């Protein structure tokens, strides 16, 4: 099976802009979670989607949003970018066959200038 794919892999934006990141889960996986990784805070949970519904949300401002489509692909959007949003954004997919076991994509590295 192909792994989790994320696009784009690298992105440079300026403050105030918005960005949309995309994630395609492993075939057959219906749950997609998003994480932000920074050197200072480590890996932090953003949100989780299952069957097009957001099931869980981390402690991030409303500028961070996401959605999931009927084919389980997911997007996350960050509006009004701030310098502190520079991070590696990771998508993970999971199957309920092995509860909570998540497989990560390669990530999107976002740099906000």
Partner 1 sequence: QKEVEQNSGPLSVPEGAIASLNCTYSDRGSQSFFWYRQYSGKSPELIMFIYSNGDKEDGRFTAQLNKASQYVSLLIRDSQPSDSATYLCARGGGGGSEKLVFGKGTKLTVNP
Report the relative pairing of strands 10-13 and 108-112 from DSSP bridges. parallel
Q: Which is nearer to partner 1, 11 or 88 (CB)?
A: 88
> Of 2, 10, 42, 70, which one interacts with partner 1 (CB under 8 A)?
42
How far apart CA 103 and CA 97 sit, in angstroms, is 13
> Of 13, 73, 79, 103, which one interacts with partner 1 (CB under 8 A)?
103
Torsion angle defined by CA atoms of residues 7, 9, 14 and 17, in that order, rounded to the nearest 10 degrees: 10
Is 76 among the residues that bind partner 1 (CB under 8 A)? no
Q: Which is nearer to partner 1, 16 or 97 (CB)?
A: 97
Is 72 among the residues that bind partner 1 (CB under 8 A)? no
**What 3-state DSSP class applies to 85?**
helix
CA distances from residue 44 to 33, 60, 69 in whole angstroms, order as listed:
11, 9, 23
Residues that bind partner 1 (CB under 8 A): 31, 33, 35, 42-45, 48, 50, 55-56, 58, 88, 90, 92, 94, 98-107
């Amino acid at each position: 099976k192909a792994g989790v794919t994320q696009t784009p892999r690298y992105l440079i934006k300026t403050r105030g802009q918005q960005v949309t990141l995309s994630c395609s889960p492993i075939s057959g996986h219906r749950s997609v979670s998003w994480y932000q990784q920074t050197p200072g805070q480590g890996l932090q949970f953003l949100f989780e989607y299952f069957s097009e519904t957001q099931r869980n949300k981390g402690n991030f401002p409303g500028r961070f949003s996401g959605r999931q489509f009927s084919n389980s692909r997911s997007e996350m959007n960050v509006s009004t970018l701030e310098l502190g949003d520079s991070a590696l954004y990771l998508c993970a997919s999971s199957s309920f066959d092995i509860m909570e076991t998540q497989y990560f994509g390669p990530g999107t590295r976002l740099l906000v200038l």
